[in-house]
Amino acid sequence: MPEQSNDYRVVVFGAGGVGKSSLVLRFVKGTFRDTYIPTVEDTYRQVISCDKSVCTLQITDTTGSHQFPAMQRLSISKGHAFILVYSITSKQSLEELKPIYQQVLAIKGNVEAIPIMLVGNKSDETLREVETKDGEAQANQWKCAFMETSAKTNHNVTELFQELLNLDKKRNMSLNIDGKRSGKQSRAERLKGKCSVM
């Protein structure tokens, strides 16, 4: 069994319905579904390589509802890296990330050493409310990384996770284990993953 201590814990936050679960499921299982089932809290595991050995990437998919503030605090304190998701079709969803970012800041103290990725999901949608440059501006202000994704079309999903791992300077992590495929990656993505190993 994978050891707790060996886990690299990534937590996904964001308003309800922005596609947190869809991103995680696309990444872990390679699937996508159109139906919307609100999440309470689910975890997933994936084996990755870390400093030339293997470790487990543990992803916590959280709830977008505000019913459980205590859970949020606990996930932040346990998390190593964070994905903050909004939907490009909703300005409101970007607004809702602000208190979450503030909470990460409050609990973690210095956020600059902590990998955080701001993600504008549903990039396949045409009814855009948040421009790419607005997302970038927010990321600059927060001193975190930024990416637009689509869980539906599988755009930038694996990249999102690999980039996030790359942001951690204390460890050298890769989604690939000894060049073998991990998860459901296309060949192109696999190559990209390899390139990013420093």
Min. distance of Cβ 165 from other proteins in angstroms? 19
Instruction: Work out the burial of residue 120: count CB atoms within 10 Å of its CB; fewer than 13 is exposed, 13-18 middle, 19 or more buried.
Output: buried
Site for other proteins in 59-78 (CB under 8 A): 67-68, 70, 74
Task: Decide: 85 and 19 in contact? Cβ < 8 Å.
Answer: yes
Give the nearer residue to other proteins in terms of CB position, either 41 or 125: 41
What's the rounded Cα separation, in Å, for the pair 145 and 136?
Answer: 8
Using CB under 8 A, which of the segments 42-50, 82-90, 152-160, 168-176 binds other proteins? Answer: 42-50
Contact call for residue 188 and other proteins (CB under 8 A)? no
Give the dihedral sign, CA 98/120/195/172.
Answer: positive
> CA 153, 154, 159: angle at the middle one, nearest 5?
145
| Residues found near ligand GTP in the complex (CB under 6 A) | 14, 16-22, 34, 36, 38-39, 63-64, 121-122, 124-125, 150-152
Q: Which does 31 bind (CB under 5 to 8 A by kind): other proteins, Mg ion, ligand GTP, none?
A: other proteins
Q: Count residues near other proteins (CB under 8 A).
A: 20
Q: Which does 34 bind (CB under 5 to 8 A by kind): ligand GTP, other proteins, Mg ion, none?
A: ligand GTP
Give the nearer residue to ligand GTP in terms of CB position, either 55 or 151: 151
Contact call for residue 44 and other proteins (CB under 8 A)? yes
Can you tell me which of 45, 66, 98, 171 binds other proteins, judged by CB under 8 A?
45
Per DSSP, what are the bridge partners of residue 122? none
Contacts 24+ apart (CB under 8 A), 93-98: 93/14, 93/15, 93/17, 93/18, 94/120, 94/130, 94/134, 94/135, 94/138, 96/14, 96/15, 97/13, 97/14, 97/15
Contact call for residue 75 and Mg ion (CB under 5 A)? no
Q: Which residues bind other proteins (CB under 8 A)?
A: 1-4, 29, 31, 33, 37, 39-45, 58, 67-68, 70, 74
